[in-house]
Amino acid sequence: MDTIQCHSASGPSSPDACAAGNEGPEDADISCLLSMLKSVPDPRTPQGIQHALVFMLAVCVVAALAGARNYREIAGHAADVPQPLLKKLGAKWCWFGLRYKHPSESTIRNVLTRIDAAALDRITGT
């Protein structure tokens, strides 16, 4: 299995930049996270998909890192994600609401209960 190495000692996403307060969450380099999540197979049929699986999983990771422990809390954190970070995670633009869309609690629940947990464990190394 290929291992993705993602380290940046002096880039804009270094711990020093974060500690100095020079960067917000939307400035973080998340390319490695998104790359890893792309290899998770999507169990959904193409009909009615509102959000890409990579985006859904990335939002769930962000929410879990922020302390979310259940579907309701994940959805609450997803609703609070800043617009620039939603864009960076891969959210779709909603022309009706003139903002990037975040997933609802039911969508999060439906995706997370159907995802292949073993594949996700292999990717994350847990």
Domain coordinates in residue numbering, the chain: 15-124
Residues 28-47 have a mean pLDDT of 92
Q: What is the pLDDT of residues 48-97, one digit of tens each?
A: 899 999 999 999 999 999 999 999 999 999 999 999 999 999 999 999 99
82-89, long-range: CB within 8 Å, 24+ apart, which pairs?
Answer: 82/24, 82/25, 82/26, 84/24, 84/26, 85/25, 85/26, 86/59, 87/26, 88/26, 88/30, 89/30, 89/34, 89/55, 89/58, 89/59, 89/62
